[in-house]
Amino acid sequence: MTSDKQVLNSSLDKVMLINNLCKSFGDRHILINFNLELIRGESVVVLGKSGSGKSVLIKCVIGLLRPDKGSIKIFGKNIPDLNHDELDQVRAKIGFLFQSNALYDSMTVRENLEFPLRRHWIEVSQEEVDKMVEDALEDVGLRHTIDMMPVELSGGMRKRVALARTLILKPEIILYDEPTTGLDTITSKEIIELMIEIQEKYNTSSLIISHDMNCVRMASDRVVMLMDGRCYANDTYENLIKSEDPKIKMFFE
């Protein structure tokens, strides 16, 4: 299935293309000439140890961090070159699921979901907003929590609400930052299944940052291994698991 897709889309539908990305904080070189491409409908997992620069990568992609060198092209636009308004336009098409969910504590679930909607499409009517909020919550199966505060929800529910919030803008790319961190095995499995379901339903591309092997196994079309700031391996899960390279084997044991 994966290979079919790759052939089908070949070079014409690369939604994201990262070239020679470098980022360092002082003397610490986090990313060194990192390359990555993401094709429409594809799901790529970036695998790496803690502190290997996975989060830095994803923050560069969304424009929260500015890379030192290199280009990040999303829908053909180089993120570091964009001004604020252009960046917002691109961001409206990208969903970002934060590691800590980043639900606004002072707002109800409804307000949390309304927030990005109102920010990006100011002319939407109240009825449409209500409908979109309800639909997004329906997708994650948490319709009943609509008027609750984030603190009243469990960890898994919060993750789902956060996912609903990223979905509400119907993004073309979803960036997942450690989606299963802090969740128990069963809940994380549910979340991964939900991710796959959403991807199929809306035909989105996903860039998943993770070190959770379950996540890698279930959700990935392709795995990119990030090691010492460089792209160490770039292959399917099935191929990597057969690899004899000790550094790769380290992850799959």
Partner 1 sequence: MSLRSDFTAFLNGNGELFSFSLRFFRHGLNPPFEFAEFIKQCYVIGYKSLPLIGLTAFIMGIVLTMQLRPSMADYGVESQLPAIVAIAVVREVGPVITALIFAGKIGSSIGAELGSMKVTEQIDAMEVSGTNPFKYLVVTRVLACTLMLPVLVMLGDAISLYGAYLGVNIHTNTSFNLFWTQVFDNLVFGDVLPAFIKSFFFGFAVGIIGCYKGYNSSRGTEGVGLSANSAVVVSSVMIFIIDLLAVQVTNIFDY
**Residue ranges binding partner 1 (CB under 8 A):** 59, 62, 64, 84, 88, 91-92, 94, 96, 98-106, 115-116, 119-120
8 Å CB contact between 33 and 22: yes
Nearer Cβ to partner 1, position 62 or 231? 62
> In whole angstroms, what is the distance from residue 243 CA to residue 249 CA?
7
Please classify residue 32 by burial: count the beta carbons closer than 10 Å to its beta carbon, then call 0-12 exposed, 13-18 middle and 19+ buried.
middle
SS3 121: coil
Nearer Cβ to partner 1, position 119 or 247? 119
Q: What separation in angstroms does the CA of 120 have from each of 30, 77, 93, 149?
A: 32, 19, 10, 23
CA-based end-to-end distance of the chain: 26
Minimum separation from the CB atom of position 55 to partner 1 (A): 10
Nearer Cβ to partner 1, position 42 or 114? 114
Minimum separation from the CB atom of position 84 to partner 1 (A): 8
- Taking the CB of residue 46, how many other CB atoms lie within 10 A of it? 25
Nearer Cβ to partner 1, position 198 or 240? 198
Nearer Cβ to partner 1, position 160 or 222? 160
> In whole angstroms, what is the distance from residue 111 CA to residue 146 CA?
9
Minimum separation from the CB atom of position 123 to partner 1 (A): 14
Minimum separation from the CB atom of position 100 to partner 1 (A): 5
Minimum separation from the CB atom of position 59 to partner 1 (A): 8
